Amino acid sequence: MSSANSSVPQAVGNVPIQQLNQLSIGTLPSVTPQPPRQNSLWSSNPVFSYLNDVYITISEHRKSLGLTNPGTIENLNKEVSRDVFLNQYFFTGLRADLNKAFSMMPAFQTSHTLSMGSTILPAYAFSSLFATEDFFVQGNVDNELNFSGRINYGWDKFNISKITLQLAHSQPSMIQLEQDYQASDFSINLKTLNPNFLYDGFSGVAVASLLQSLTPKLAVGLEAMYSKQPIAPPDTAVSYVARYNAGNWIASAQLQAQGALIASFWRKVSDKVEAGLETQIGATMKQVADPLMGIGFEPVIEGQTTIGAKYEYRTAVFRGQLDSTGKVSAFLEKRVLPTVSILFSGEIDQFKNSSRIGLGLQFEAAGNEQLMMMQQGLIDANGNSIPGAPPVQL
């Protein structure tokens, strides 16, 4: 849950306490591939010597372009879908969160969530996380003993391994294995969902993606998916993506194999205001009845556009969005005390003449005196007094 920007620092290290449950090992420092070592084989053999010279030339040219890591395809339009839109924040019914941070680094936090009248949230959920500089583990369990968890481990500055597990009574069990490789100007991601090698080779879903920077602002890539079930023929699909980052605005597009196009645009209007726009266009086949030909199919093109904005105040964050299906949604997080926030979410469907609403309280507790003073705005994450704050009584 994102929290409002205020003069009250609420962080564990450099990470806000409210966002610790979304913590992941993401963007890595820029690194430059090193050319092969100049040993006797590469220098004496004509073929290897030529390949070595080509590699060095390409590496030096890439360094001269000033390219940066473009991120991953998974986060292609995160500024719109995760930061501006309400997808990660909207809820219904009544909700109460109790978050408690026990330490800063390594970071350790627990959270209790109670809800009533919600079709999305369970009646009770407990979650905890533990994170260091190169390791992260998080687990969630609810009142029906549904469990979900993930583990991230950074082997070095290049590679991160991830495991995601989900065990639910009403849904199939799921395990996902993922490997990230992020270099100075490209990112490679490999993942597999529910892999199985016991029945006639591989079954499950395998996805491979590549995102490469062509200029300091433009990056292009593709994502290939292979799916096979034990009693069904395999299926493959390829998607193409592009991302342009101009600093204060970002545009991205994704062309999926099924004929769907997803385009998004993010703009930083001011220091406190961000806006986002996303359009989805898909082509499908619709079954129709013809008096002469009988049952047939005709192509149908469907689309949806969503526009939203995010406003950050000193003690509050407001998000609002409107889409072409007639839905108007809003989410407000207001900090009334250094450790207490009020949450409000609402949605009105103009075409269906229906509405949904959610109200919540969020409490934050500290496991030690230093964290408590940070939550009260007396000191910063490094233990230094904040200018203008009351003096710390020792």
* Distance separating alpha carbons of residues 378 and 390, to the nearest angstrom: 7
Q: What is the pLDDT of residue 86?
A: 92
Residues 209-218 as b/e (b if ≥16 CB within 10 A, e otherwise) read bbbbbeeeeb
Which among 243, 300, 305 is positioned nearest to 277, based on CA atoms? 305
What does DSSP say about strands 93-103 and 107-116: parallel, antiparallel, or unpaired? antiparallel
Q: What is the pLDDT of residue 17?
A: 41
Residues of the chain below pLDDT 70 = 1-45, 290-294, 296, 367-394
Q: What is the pLDDT of residue 379?
A: 53
Phi-psi domain of 201 (left: phi exceeds 0; alpha: psi -120 through 50; beta: other): left
- Bond preceding residue 234 cis, omega within 30 of 0: no
Q: What is the pLDDT of residue 292?
A: 64
Q: What is the pLDDT of residue 12?
A: 42
What does R_g of the chain's alpha carbons equal in angstroms? 25
Residue 340 neighbours by CB under 8 Å, 6+ apart? 361, 362, 363, 364
Residue 200 tokens, joined: 């006639």
Q: What is the pLDDT of residue 284?
A: 76
Q: What is the pLDDT of residue 169?
A: 81
Q: What is the pLDDT of residue 104?
A: 78
pTM, entire model: 0.75
DSSP annotation of 130 reads E
Name the CATH topology of 11-30+68-375.
Answer: Porin (2.40.160)
Domain spans, the chain: 11-30+68-375
| Residue for token pair 């969020």 | 362
